[in-house]
């Protein structure tokens, strides 16, 4: 069966991978010149990689880890010390470590909280651990029910005070969803925390050993094309043509300038684009259907990624760091954390600016100036002197993962739609992970499953079961 997939991000590529495993022939079309979507990257004039975002992999990403294993590239993940690390704004240049001991969960995570004396008092530790207990005991069912509250409201209901919120959850919320605790649905950070509490290495962090298009996306492309699939870049979906029964007759494609239009016919069709993009392309007859109307309750959140190349090493660590800055979310010295970007003499900091709504329309120069001001607080003895900025890059994503405010779970669609031959894929679709690389890969797998179940092939190969536990 031929399956046309619009979108070459992780969701579309994962969908294609699992479709070829089931004996189908996927045709992937990506509008950009590079694959990856929200994990895309490209090389500048100096040959340095400019990334769409700072991408950390967690031990609680079973579908991503399974995909890497199936592709034979698990060794491309560089695992870091099992810890979460926070800056201390009141003590510039000082880091606070939540080291997770190598013990069964949830004991290991709870001990990491109890052992940290730099950020929390013993009363706050107790309240923090006690507040997390319902998620430990009642699991994901409880977590899903908390979608009616913001994280800040949930913290108040659990008796967890403002100090814990300001010290830990603001940083965690911005890292996971790019918005603050007074906006984000409690379900999202609690989902992550529930995974960390239930899986021994769930909170352990890894970095890819190079640029995602080369080290992650290309192996998927090679796998798919070696089995008869196709992957095309610089080709965008322009129109969805319908049959009289409202099923898809064909995708109308064109280059990025809207020229050289052509039709793609298939047995099944997939949108693996962002929720904002597919809303613009929905045929008018579909727009009145309740299933598709739900999409109006979802929109992408703005995100800004900043990269700064410096003329010398800063006193950073080989890890992901939570900045606890009002401007910055997480950051890393990629010259330390990533083998492909290693430099013994110079640092390259990659930083996520969040929340970014008020910054997305500002100039790159303003963003860099504000970022450097924050870095001067994080590295008071190194910025602006003696370290000097060699160059910078600012990548703005006006609509990234869906904005996870309370009540959004009810608007997340299934991968199978009321249209028999049309499917959705993307981390915004319903799956037990938040908008993330893991959510994108799992959604692609679930989409492939839905297609295979609707139109089974006479083959012994089947799509691998999704890890939803």
What are the φ and ψ backbone dihedral angles of 163, each rounded to 5 degrees? Answer: -65, -45
What is the pLDDT at residue 456?
54
Q: What is the dihedral of CA 88, 191, 435, 86, to 10 degrees?
A: 10
Span 175-193, pLDDT tens digits: 888 999 899 999 988 888 8
| 299 CA to centre of own chain | 15
- Nearest to residue 413, comparing CAs of 298, 270, 245, 247? 298
Question: What span, in angstroms and rounded, lies between the C-alpha atoms of 437 and 11?
Answer: 8
Which residues are paired to 262 by β-bridges?
253
Quick: pLDDT tens for 102-142: 999 989 988 998 888 777 778 777 777 777 777 777 777 88
CB 100 within 8 A of CB 83: yes
Task: Tell whether the model's pLDDT for residue 460 goes beyond 80.
Answer: no
pLDDT grade for 195, boundaries at 50, 70 and 90:
confident
Given a cut of 70, whether residue 463 has pLDDT beyond it is no
Q: State both tokens at 283.
A: 């045929």
pLDDT in tens, 416-449: 999 999 999 999 999 988 889 999 999 999 999 9
The answer, yes or no, to whether residue 67 has pLDDT greater than 90, is yes
Confidence at residue 303, expressed as pLDDT on a 0 to 100 scale: 96
pLDDT tens figures, 263-295? 999 999 999 999 999 999 999 999 999 999 999
Whole-angstrom Cα distance, residue 258 to residue 308? 34
Do you find a cis peptide bond into 25, omega within 30 degrees of 0?
A: no
DSSP reduced 3-state for 92:
coil
pLDDT of 371 strictly over 90: yes
pLDDT averaged over every residue in the chain: 91
pLDDT confidence of 383, banded at 50, 70, 90?
low
- C-alpha span between 65 and 462 (Å, rounded): 19
CB 109 within 8 A of CB 100: yes
Q: What is the pLDDT of residue 244?
A: 97
pLDDT at 455 (0 to 100): 67
- Paired tokens of 41: 């990257």
Compute how many other C-beta atoms are within 10 angstroms of the C-beta atom of residue 156. 14
Range 234-257 average pLDDT: 96
Predicted confidence at residue 467, as pLDDT, reads 45
* Whether 335 contacts 319, CB under 8 Å: no
């Amino acid at each position: 069966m031929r399956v046309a997939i619009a979108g070459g991000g992780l969701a579309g590529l994962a969908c294609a991978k699992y479709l070829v495993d089931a004996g189908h022939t996927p045709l992937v079309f990506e509008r950009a010149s590079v694959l990856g979507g929200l994990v895309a990257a490209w090389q500048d004039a100096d040959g340095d990689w400019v990334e769409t975002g700072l991408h950390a992999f967690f031990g609680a990403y079973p579908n991503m880890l399974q995909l890497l294993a199936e592709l034979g590239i698990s060794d491309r993940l560089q695992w870091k010390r099992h810890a979460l690390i926070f800056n201390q704004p009141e003590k510039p240049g000082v880091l606070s470590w939540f080291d997770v001991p190598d013990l069964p969960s949830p004991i290991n995570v709870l001990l990491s909280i109890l052992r940290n004396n730099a950020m929390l008092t013993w009363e706050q530790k107790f309240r923090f651990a006690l507040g997390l207990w319902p998620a430990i005991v009642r699991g994901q069912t409880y977590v899903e029910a908390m979608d009616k509250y913001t994280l800040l409201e949930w913290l108040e209901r659990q008796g967890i005070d403002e100090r814990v919120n300001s010290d830990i959850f603001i940083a965690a919320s911005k890292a996971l969803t790019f918005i603050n605790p007074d906006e984000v649905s409690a379900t999202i950070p609690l989902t992550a925390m529930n995974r960390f509490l239930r899986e021994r290495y769930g909170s352990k962090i890894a970095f890819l050993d190079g640029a995602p298009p080369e080290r992650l996306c290309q192996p998927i492309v090679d796998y798919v094309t070696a089995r008869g699939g196709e992957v095309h870049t610089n080709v965008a979906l322009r129109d969805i043509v319908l049959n009289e029964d409202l099923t898809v007759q064909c995708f109308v494609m064109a280059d990025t300038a809207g020229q050289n239009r052509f039709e793609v016919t298939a047995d099944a069709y997939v949108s693996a684009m962002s929720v904002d993009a597919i809303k613009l392309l929905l045929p008018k007859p579909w727009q009145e259907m309740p299933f598709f109307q739900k999409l109006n309750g979802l929109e992408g959140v703005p995100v800004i990624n900043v990269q700064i190349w410096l003329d010398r090493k800063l006193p950073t660590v080989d890890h992901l760091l939570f900045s606890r800055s009002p401007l910055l979310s997480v950051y890393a010295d990629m010259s330390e954390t990533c083998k492909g970007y290693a430099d013994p003499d110079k640092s390259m900091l990659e930083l996520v600016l969040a929340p970014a709504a008020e910054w997305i329309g500002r100039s790159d120069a303003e963003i860099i100036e504000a970022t450097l001001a924050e870095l001067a607080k994080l590295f008071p003895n190194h910025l602006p002197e003696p370290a000097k900025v060699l160059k910078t890059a600012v990548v703005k994503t006006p609509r990234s993962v869906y904005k996870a405010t309370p009540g959004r779970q009810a608007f997340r669609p299934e991968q199978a739609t009321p249209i028999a031959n049309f499917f959705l894929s993307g981390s915004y679709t319903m799956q037990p992970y938040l908008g993330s690389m893991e959510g994108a890969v799992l959604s692609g797998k679930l989409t492939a499953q839905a297609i295979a179940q609707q139109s089974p092939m006479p083959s012994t190969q089947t799509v691998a079961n999704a890890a939803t536990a």
